[in-house]
Structure 1
Amino acid sequence: MASTTVTTTTETTTEATSTALPPLMKAWVLHGKEDMRLEERPVPTPGAGEVLLQIGSVGVCGSDKHMFFEGRASSDILRAPVVLGHEFGGTIVGVGEGIDPARLGVRVAVEPLVPDWTSREAREGRYNIDPNQRFFGVPGLDGALQQYLVVPSDNAHAIPDSVSDDAAAMVETISVALNGVEKAALPMGSRVVIVGGGPVGLFVAQLCRAQGVGTIALVEPQESRRNAAAGFGCVTYSDLAEAGGDYDAFIDCTGVASVRHDGCYTVRPGGRAVFIGVGAEDATVPMPAVIEREVSIHGVMRYAFTWPKVIAMLEAGLIEADGLVSRTLRMDDALEAWTRPLATEVKTMVLVGE
């Protein structure tokens, strides 16, 4: 193995204020269904091309909940202990060989997707569908529910002071929404119906508003989420049947099979149905509604090249992220995100860095 040079904030004359790194850190490790334990692990060391982060905020995603309760999320299956957490940011406190020490002390938002850049998909610019990709926080690559984490330097994007730690973690969620909105290909003045008023759905609504969509309908049974959507300029409904039809695009953020099926009827001829929510492995679509009216169906797999765009939108105030945080938990209390759900929850954040 090639030797690695590591620089930490205690070995340089930079203005970073980090203290000496401890030998051990806390980590929440998922061992099996509903079996997540707070353990001690050695603080890792960055290798060539990598940086060491002191983790700030970590968002709890719906897929994290599926992994905890069901032992799987989509095609990712829990077969060995793993640290969850793929929505995160932090501060660079160590750099490996080849990384400019000037990065020390920089606050970053981290893209958790690590593609194989030699794959056909990555070479074509669609690294989000690279079949060999790795992803922080799913089985095979530990995530950010630990105090320190090593990530590729290129995945750590600097954020301005105006972007909070919570918002830095939500760049991942906004990126998913952005990919969905881009798949919907909505021109100015068009009509869209969004189903699901969780974080992804609310970010989809904000992105649609930012690009001039004329009518933004959002369907969500929970009143508090409908109120939040109304604040972003949405016409809200508690049931999809109330929303009517003739939309240019239908965007599902729930993964509910019946929603996918019925949503295809809300789309005008030549329109688009976009599936962001994962849900069950199989679902049906009404083929006459799709084929006879040439409705295009688009799946959304994560994102590609979105971090600079999203950070710029947050800095410009085009997207509201912090207001979507409904609960914050300290690191020691993180398990409550799974064991004590909130009836009005939108986004729970774990403050690992505090």
Structure 2
Amino acid sequence: MSENIAIVAHATGDLRVDPTPEPVPAADEAVVEIAYGGVCGSDLHYWLHGAAGASILRAPMVLGHEVVGTVLTAAADGSGPTVGTSVAVHPGTPHDVDGVVWPADRPNLAPGATYLGSAAHFPHCEGAFARRVALPGRMLRPLPAGLSLLGAALAEPAAVAWHGVERAGDVRGKRVVVIGAGPIGLLVVAVALHHGASEVIATDIADGPRSRASALGAARVLDARASQDIAELAADVVIESSGTVPGLHAAVDAAVRGGVVVLLGLQRNGDVDAPLAQAITRELDLRGSFRFNGEIDDVLAALADGSLKVDGVVTHVVPAADALDAFTTAKDSEASGKVLLDFTA
């Protein structure tokens, strides 16, 4: 068995591939041999800035929450999948906070929720970018028959996109505009088409993301700086996936009067400039979207039956031992879509 390694953010600008002990599972945990891990924007932020929004890195932390793998040791308490099962991972765990009310049917909104590879709490919630990790059986989703580990590698970010599209309501027969065609924006394009949107239009400042959106099936792609063209779109639904203030303004501009704007891209912490007068006078519905709940199961089924078409979203697969190269590639949105770490290499 090869040495266990983990991808660890030690501090701002300090990303290392570290030897790590073999996992010692609790009774409700399985040992999973990770095959692939997708580099997320939050992983990049921890590396580049030592923080992801309000989640500040206060100690070295194993990164990674977009992972798939194979069960090596089943949970001792009998929960979760059996040995040899290929699995995707739902990385969230809801927790209460005394005095804070949240809807029980929306566990993504639990105020004390933890997420693999997140510094939102201290001690941090270690991630799953390692060759072998111990994970609760309840997090593990067996892959449908015929779906490979590589084919399932986008399950977690696609679930984020699926949740965002469904926050808009029924998009069948509607014009949908996606602001920002990074990996999440691309998956929003794919999910909107899967859900029956009559036309999907994507915007981005870079040629590479626009080309990838077009290849996925976007009917039109626009330079995000073409403000007049965007303002004339009159979209029924706009999904803001860039997490930028200009993207927020463009999303409101692009919406038809009475339309829906879903805020999927996470804005910076604190106050941001927003065109609220315009949103009010157009009677726009502004809806937040945060992570996901059970949508990962729908995503896995749609990936397995081929109805969710994501070809071209993954642009690079890099050996995990070369994680710094992978992260450097992933931060270049012109050159890359989703970058995967290959822990089997």
TM-score (structure 1 length as normaliser)? 0.88
- Identify which of 338, 346, 351 aligns with 2:337: 346
Do the aligned residues in 1 keep the contact of 2:7 with 2:62 (CA within 8 Å)? yes
Q: Structure 1 CA distance, aligned partners of 2:20 and 2:197?
A: 48
- Identify which of 311, 323, 341 aligns with 2:300: 311
Residues 1-354 of structure 1: matches in 2 within 5 Å?
25-99=4-78, 103-116=82-95, 124-139=104-119, 140-234=124-218, 235-239=220-224, 240-241=226-227, 242-243=229-230, 244-281=232-269, 282-340=271-329, 341-342=331-332, 343-354=334-345
Instruction: Give the C-alpha shift of residue 121 in structure 1.
Output: 6.5
Do the aligned residues in 1 keep the contact of 2:176 with 2:239 (CA within 8 Å)? yes
Q: Between the two proteins, what is the percent identity of the paired residues?
A: 29
Q: Structure 2 CA distance, aligned partners of 1:161 and 1:329?
A: 26
Q: Structure 2 CA distance, aligned partners of 1:100 and 1:126?
A: 23
Q: Structure 1 CA distance, aligned partners of 2:73 and 2:126?
A: 18
CA 211–349 in structure 1, closer or farther in 2 if over 3 Å, else same:
same
Structure 1 residues 271-315: Cα deviation after superposition (integer angstroms, max 9, x where no partner): 111111113223222122111222111111100111210000001
Q: Structure 2 CA distance, aligned partners of 1:187 and 1:96?
A: 40
Letter in 1 for 2:22: V
Q: Structure 1 CA distance, aligned partners of 2:318 and 2:235?
A: 39
Q: Structure 2 CA distance, aligned partners of 1:101 and 1:258?
A: 44
CA 170–44 in structure 1, closer or farther in 2 if over 3 Å, else same:
same
CA 100–293 in structure 1, closer or farther in 2 if over 3 Å, else same:
closer
Do the aligned residues in 2 keep the contact of 1:55 with 1:149 (CA within 8 Å)? yes
Between 1:60-69 and 1:283-292, the stretch displaced more is 283-292
Letter in 1 for 2:107: Y
Letter in 1 for 2:341: V
Q: Structure 2 CA distance, aligned partners of 1:256 and 1:117?
A: 30
Instruction: Please list every run of 5 or more consecutive structure 2 residues that lacks an aligned counterpart in the other structure.
Output: none
Instruction: Give the C-alpha shift of residue 50 in structure 1.
Output: 1.5
CA 279–122 in structure 1, closer or farther in 2 if over 3 Å, else same:
closer
Instruction: Give the C-alpha shift of residue 162 in structure 1.
Output: 2.9
Do the aligned residues in 2 keep the contact of 1:178 with 1:207 (CA within 8 Å)? yes
Structure 1 residues 194-226: Cα deviation after superposition (integer angstroms, max 9, x where no partner): 111112111111111112211211112322322
Matched residue SS, 1:151: strand
Specify the alignment match of 1:5 in structure 2. Answer: none
Whose radius of gyration is greater, 1 or 2? Answer: 1
Aligned length: 333
Do the aligned residues in 2 keep the contact of 1:203 with 1:319 (CA within 8 Å)? no
Instruction: Give the C-alpha shift of residue 322 in structure 1.
Output: 5.0
TM-score (structure 2 length as normaliser)? 0.90
C-alpha RMSD of matched pairs (Å)? 2.1
Structure 1 residues 54-106: Cα deviation after superposition (integer angstroms, max 9, x where no partner): 11100001111111111111221100110001100110001232226971000
Specify the alignment match of 1:9 in structure 2. Answer: none
Q: Structure 2 CA distance, aligned partners of 1:77 and 1:143?
A: 15
Matched residue SS, 1:46: coil
Matched residue SS, 1:168: coil
Matched residue SS, 1:309: helix
Do the aligned residues in 2 keep the contact of 1:86 with 1:112 (CA within 8 Å)? yes
Structure 1 residues 203-255: Cα deviation after superposition (integer angstroms, max 9, x where no partner): 11111111221121111232232222223331111135223232111111101
Instruction: Please list every run of 5 or more consecutive structure 1 residues that lacks an aligned counterpart in the other structure.
Output: 1-20
